[in-house]
Amino acid sequence: MQTHQYDVVIVGAGGAGMRAALESSTRARTAVISKLYPTRSHTGAAQGGMCAALANVEEDNWEWHTFDTVKGGDYLVDQDAAEVMAKEAIDAVLDLEKMGLPFNRTPEGRIDQRRFGGHTRNHGEAAVRRSCYAADRTGHMILQTLYQQCVKQDVEFYNEFYVLDVILTHDLTAGEVPAGEEVAVAGVVAYDLATGEIHVFRAKSVVFATGGAGKIYKTTSNAHTLTGDGMALALRRGIPLEDMEFFQFHPTGLAGLGILLSEAARGEGAILRNSEGERFMERYAPTIKDLAPRDMVARAMANEVREGRGCGPNKDYVLLDLTHLEPAHIDAKLPDITEFARTYLGVEPYTEPVPVYPTAHYAMGGIPTTIDAEVLRSNTDVVRGLFAAGEVACVSVHGSNRLGTNSLLDINVFGKRAGIAAARYAETAPWHEMPDDAATPTVEYIERLRDHATGERIADIRRDLQETMDRNAQVFRTADSLTEALADIAALKKRYRDASVQDKGRRFNTDLMEGVELGFLLDLAEVVVVGALAREESRGGHFREDFPSRDDEKFMQHTMAYLRPGAGGEGTVELDYKPVIVTRYQPMERKY
């Protein structure tokens, strides 16, 4: 075992983690721990853009952007946080440009902007050009640019290290902290993939930036490595998770594969059609049609398929039609995603429409934080020194449905805020005791998984989990489907306890790490389903067929899910609720 000490430890080297590192490493001694090489992070897969009301190509302002974010999130957004994000968006984009990000340009040489779903002028009048972009590889450019700056600043990385535990001064799992006592972070425990060795990092501040959890579903745009590690680690240590039932299904995944075709395609004019060739979005969102928010488009597509207007031999997808766009325009604006269609489906987008179906894309929920990225351990109290930013966090700027381009924005705005806040806190904060046996639970966990002589394969359990989630907790949900999912997850958790991995070695044991990641997925899937079952309404990304309308009276509040010790060693998920912060906008019906 090795030990280290840093003022600030950042867990995750995607967009949020590196943006935080750029701030914190100039102010405090900082280490970034990442299970992937930084440039392998899934921020690099983001395509369409990052929005900010720069008004470079048409009139726009941050207030309109705030409104769109709140309305897009179906009024579950904390409006103070959305306002911060929309205001700071402008500097966030300019910061990136100054770091060298190669944005596409207008003829005048300014940063170009394009349309994206749910972003409108003057509170819904018409689509507005707000998304700043670099072809259809905006995330790639953000990730590269931030990494380049980290190289320049000589940021210290621990790559291919998996953080497997976070150490707090108090045990929060029982839910009781003596009155007047402050809970603080003491550090993290990590596993070095190359050697199998355990490293304990003592730190005054810890920033979680571990990204999303799309792998709880089978069909997803997320990477194999997006297993919700940070969320699950926090949950296991008694920290609540907020609004986890809200998962975004992106309308246009390549049918059967889930690989994303950015909304930028529709922003540039592509149209969704059913088997009758009908532009069906005209029926669902007469004003902005194909550019309605994702939850609405995804449901519309699923509904077309359900009602028998799907395409293909099994009538199980719809078509994204780009054939009326100029090939040169497609090549200039959408080169990567059209190549995905060619490579993976053998479809030529110049001349043939592309088969698409909704794909699990984005976790709106996550670790609850304040607007300074401090982690909340209850509706009101924070864990001192613990921060979270990016997809792992829930500020909440996305409410029940995130608008396209608002996540690349989120990771930059709140990544920066987290980095500054973490370093500032570390300046004056005391060191907290790191118990001698801090690593024991982690060591026991991985040894049990590795040393089980025989047992079921991890992959089989994971597949069954992903299948039940796709079947029962996807675009359409009911009490029955969710109850079934919950029963399945309970059974899978039992199987997981007796699972084993084949690779018994210490060196680069990815088999073992997949086993650990499955444990995270199982915990998170349960939280998603328990929250979804309790939320007897439909809002944003969460649609209950048995409760098809929004119920502001009962449910205009955030879900706060806690894992409490239960019978037989398995925890049980308990729910509480937290009020939504409303400043300017009273809830209205969401029409587009």
Partner 1 sequence: MTALAETTETSTEAGAVPSFDVTLRIRRFDPDTGAEPRWEEFTVTAHGTDRVLDAMHKVKWEVDGSLTFRRSCAHGICGSDAMRINGRNRLACKTLLKDLDPSKPIVIEPIKGLPVIKDLVVDMEPFFASYREVMPFLITNGNAPTKERLQSPEDRARYDDTTKCILCAACTSSCPVFWTDGQYFGPAAIVNAHRFIFDSRDEGAAQRLEVLNDKEGVWRCRTTFNCSEACPRGIEVTKAIQEVKRAMITRAF
Residues engaged in binding ligand FAD (CB under 6 A) = 11-17, 33-36, 41-43, 45-50, 138-139, 162-163, 209-212, 221-222, 226, 229, 260, 262, 361-362, 390-392, 404-409, 411
Determine which residue in the list 20, 32, 77, 134 makes contact with partner 1, applying CB under 8 A: 134
Closest contact distance (angstroms) between CB of 560 and ligand FAD is 21
Does position 45 interact with partner 1 (CB under 8 A)? The reply is yes
The verdict on 429 binding partner 1 (CB under 8 A) reads no
Question: Both ends of the chain: CA-CA distance in Å?
Answer: 57
- Nearest residue to the partner ligand FAD, using Cβ: 14
Q: What is the dihedral of CA 391, 395, 401, 405, to 10 degrees?
A: -60
- Decide which of ligand FAD, partner 1, none touches 554; Cβ closer than 5 to 8 Å per partner kind: none
Shortest distance (Å) from residue 141 CB to partner 1: 7
Shortest distance, position 488 Cβ to partner 1, whole Å: 13
For 39, other C-beta atoms within 10 Å of its C-beta total 17
Burial class (CB in 10 A: 0-12, 13-18, 19+), 156: middle
Minimum distance between the CB of residue 250 and ligand FAD, rounded to whole angstroms? 8
Q: Is the peptide bond before 396 cis (omega within 30 degrees of 0)?
A: yes
Q: What is residue 109's three-state secondary structure?
A: coil
- Please pick, among 202, 266, 294, 550, the residue that the annotation labels catalytic: 294
Among partner 1, ligand FAD, none, what does residue 408 contact (CB within 5–8 Å per kind)?
ligand FAD
Contacts for 452 with CB less than 8 Å, ≥ 6 apart: 498, 499, 500, 501
Q: How far apart are CA 85 and CA 66, in angstroms?
A: 8
The residue count for binding partner 1 (CB under 8 A) is 82
Pick 12 or 399: Cβ nearer ligand FAD: 12
Give the range of 92-100, 115-123, 371-379, 486-494 binding partner 1 by CB under 8 A: 92-100
109 or 180: whose CB is closer to partner 1? 109
How do 197-208 and 185-192 pair as beta strands?
antiparallel
Q: What, of partner 1, ligand FAD, none, does residue 122 touch, CB below 5 to 8 Å by kind?
A: none
Residue 293 interacts with which of partner 1, ligand FAD, none, CB < 5 to 8 Å by class:
none
User: Shortest Cβ distance from residue 136 to partner 1 (Å)?
Assistant: 11
| Partner whose footprint covers residue 475, from ligand FAD, partner 1, none (CB < 5 to 8 Å by kind) | partner 1
Quote the CA–CA distance of 64 and 70 in Å, as a whole number. 10
Stretch that binds partner 1, among 145-153, 406-414, 433-441, 561-569 (CB under 8 A): 145-153
> Which residue number, 163 or 485, has a Cβ lying nearer to ligand FAD?
163
| Contact yes or no for 408/138 (Cβ under 8 A) | yes
Task: Report if residue 308 touches partner 1, rule: CB under 8 A.
Answer: no
- Helical pair 440-451 and 510-534, crossing angle rounded to 10 deg: 110
| Nearest in space to 421 (alpha carbons), one of 84, 24, 95, 155 | 24
**Least distance from ligand FAD to the Cβ atom of residue 176, Å:** 28
Q: How far is the CB of 377 from partner 1 (least distance, A)?
A: 31
In the complex, minimum distance from the CB of residue 310 to partner 1, in angstroms, rounded to a whole number: 7
Q: Which residues of 235-256 are buried (b: 16+ CB within 10 A; e: fewer)?
A: bbbbbbbbbbbbbbbbbbbbbb
Interaction residues for partner 1, span 95-124 (CB under 8 A): 97-100, 102-111
Sign of the Cα torsion 363, 368, 370, 374 reads negative
Q: Does 475 bind partner 1 (CB under 8 A)?
A: yes
Q: Does 158 bind partner 1 (CB under 8 A)?
A: no
Question: Could you give the 3-state DSSP secondary structure of residue 161?
Answer: strand
32-37-40 Cα angle (round to 5): 120
521 touches partner 1 by CB under 8 A = no
What does each C-alpha distance from 473 to 236, 399, 519, 543, 584 come to in angstroms?
A: 23, 18, 19, 9, 33
Choose among partner 1, ligand FAD, none what residue 11 binds, the Cβ cut-off being 5 to 8 Å by kind. ligand FAD
Q: Which of 464, 44, 498, 467 shows the shortest CA–CA distance to 226?
A: 44
The binder of 49, among ligand FAD, partner 1, none, by C-beta within 5 to 8 A per type, is ligand FAD
Interaction of residue 416 with partner 1, rule CB under 8 A: no
Q: Which residue intervals of 239-391 are DSSP H helices?
A: 264-267, 281-284, 294-306, 327-333, 335-340
How far CA 265 is from CA of 261, 300, 330, in Å, comes to 7, 18, 9
- Regarding 370 and contact with partner 1 (CB under 8 A), the answer is no
Q: At what angle do helices 138-152 and 406-428 cross, to 10 degrees?
A: 20
Distance of alpha carbon 370 from alpha carbon 421, whole angstroms: 11
Q: What are the Cα distances from residue 364, in Å, to 135, 295, 379, 489, 557?
A: 25, 12, 18, 21, 14
Question: Tokens 């690593």 sit at which residue?
Answer: 439
- Residue 410 CB, shortest distance to ligand FAD, in Å, is 7
| Segment 205 to 264, residues that bind partner 1, using CB under 8 A | 218-219, 223-225, 255-257, 259
Q: Which two tokens stand for residue 210?
A: 């571990």
Give DSSP secondary structure letters for 535-590: --S-BTTB-BTTB-S--HHHHSEEEEEEEEE-GGG-EEEEEEEEEPP-SS------
CA distance 145 to 431: 33
Task: Give the residue, chosen from 277, 505, 565, 566, that forms a contact with partner 1 under the rule CB under 8 A.
Answer: 505
Is 294 assigned a catalytic role? yes
Residue with smaller CB distance to partner 1, 450 or 558 = 450
* Residue 357 interacts with, from partner 1, ligand FAD, none (CB under 5-8 Å by kind): partner 1
Q: Which stretch binds partner 1 (CB under 8 A): 2-10, 165-173, 304-312, 570-578?
A: 304-312
Residue 516 lies near partner 1 (rule: CB under 8 A): no
How far, in Å, CA of 281 to CA of 271, rounded? Answer: 9
Q: Which of 9, 13, 22, 36 binds partner 1 (CB under 8 A)?
A: 36
Q: Which of 26, 122, 343, 583 binds partner 1 (CB under 8 A)?
A: 343
Q: Which of 19, 129, 137, 333 binds partner 1 (CB under 8 A)?
A: 137
In the bound state with ligand FAD, the residue whose beta carbon lies nearer, of 191 and 284, is 191
Q: Pick from partner 1, ligand FAD, none: which does 268 bind, CB < 5 to 8 A by kind?
A: none
Rounded to a whole number of angstroms, the minimum distance from the CB of residue 29 to ligand FAD is 19
Give me the least distance between CB of 471 and partner 1, in Å please: 5
Q: Rounded CA gap, 453 and 442, in Å?
A: 19
Q: Which residues are catalytic?
A: 294
